[in-house]
Structure 1
Amino acid sequence: MARPDLNLLTTLDVLLTEGSVARAARRLRLSPSAMSRALARLRDATGDPLLVRAGRGLVPTPRALELRDRVGQLVKDGEAVLRPTEMLDLKQLSRTFTLRTRDGFVENFGPALLTRIGKEAPGVRLCFVQKFDKDSTPLRDGSVDLDTGVTGEMTGPELRVQALFRDRFIGVVRPGHPLSRGKVTAARYARGKHINVSRRGLAEGPVDAALATAGLEREVTTIVSDFSAALALARSADLIATVPERHTGNLRTRLVSFPLPLAVPEIAVSLLWHPRLDADPAHRWLRMCVREVCTAQPAMRRGR
């Protein structure tokens, strides 16, 4: 069966609206003969006369009356699809966005982000889910709209990536810990008992490589999978947690923070999304909000 000519939908819509071949021809800027030929094609396609002679005019058949509203809506929907996206009305936007983040992001950036979104688009809801790995599948299958974190080998090559901020590692201890007083040297830092944060359960990381360069080695007594757990342990025991400064700002309340006496590389925290959402106006607005909130959020004071 031959595929129908969808261009005829517009012609049918005008014919059924005008009820006249001559008026429909003028509206579509066609000759009366061209419009008559189009009507003939429509009769063949639908298997119905559509418009029949009644005196000097034409009247619609029952089939034409049945089609009139449906065809009109189809034409409107088609025109909407082919038009450029209209200006986004944030006040009328009703949508749930899922953001995948590591621990500390919600606590540190969430309040400012929710405040801004609540003012600009009160119908928008954010769903934060924990990021346990760097697998890009949730972005590909649409279960996650936006991802934050450090890119790696598992980051899909097709993903869009935009830098948010750079973060440095700092040491954190409880008040009363020996490193809460005096100058923190590399030797003093290495002599303490440490917590290592590793989602894969590793006992070593960039800090150990920096210590080895200085001829030092630390004792890792505990391994945890996230920064929140590391800081909870450092809060109640004489252990040293080494965590990114900006990402854990609000998690370090009433703890003592100090710059590392080592040259540990900074990390670049980025925003990631799938290219199918690149041009979506609501998603672009959300990305702008996240980017500006993270850029405006100051680092915590470096003192104790």
Structure 2
Amino acid sequence: MPKLQVNDIDLFYDIKGDGEPLLLIAGFLCDRSYWSLIMPSLVEQYQVIRVDNRGMGRSSAPDIPYSIQQMANDLTALLNYIGIDQVNVVGHSMGGQIAQELVLSDPTRVKSLILLSSLAQGDRKFHQIIETWGDLPGNIDLKLYEKVVFPWIFTDKFYAIPGMVEQLIEWAVNYPFAPARHTLYHHSRAILGSDTKDRLQNIHCPTLILVGREDILTPVKFSQQLAAGIPHAELVVIDSCGHGLLIESPETVVSLMGEFLANFGKCIAGE
């Protein structure tokens, strides 16, 4: 898999498929593998670019403070390196925060924006959760950490599937590129330090916002704030799924993404 030396780190990425470039940005505790369930559908139509954010997967994980803007800058450098002048961008959760900073800092680069389970500004409850998630790795092992985090990610319905959560936890514990403890701390503080609420009106590209109706981590009100602030943004609330909508409802997510991107393409073509 290719890597790029940028901003004092090695940034790992992969590119699959042909067609319009589509950049996928994962969130907290996740690397590029988080998109695996929707990749087969995406690579049939798009040149899909996945990246491990600094600290995650096979990218470097320096034990220094991170910021959302810094991670957006990493992606700008990557796009420059691979020669992508314009790209459709999808970000989940923290990845959506990075995506917002990417379009705000380089607006002509981003053709369209899709924000999944994301936010512009968290409330006190959200900040307390994320602060705790950053502090916990120094006190418990990864398996217990996943057990603490997962109830905020998945719905009761998902937990009711026999063995499903246990299987995911075992996969995470045995994953060969699990994040370092300090990465989770630095990512948590990057999330807490991010706030685009007063700059959303500067995002002018076509934007789709998706959120699970049962998302208790980044609830519907966070996506409503994004939709209210971004001119002409479209908000879709997906029933019967939570924050982990890419795992609980991948078919619905990829269908809505595909419909949005296809309609956007028709508008550009003047159809």
Determine if the TM-score, normalized by the shorter chain, exceeds 0.5.
no
Instruction: Please say which structure displays the higher CA radius of gyration.
Output: 1
TM-score of the aligned structures, taking structure 2 as reference length: 0.30
Higher percent of residues as helix: 2
Q: TM-score by structure 1 length?
A: 0.28
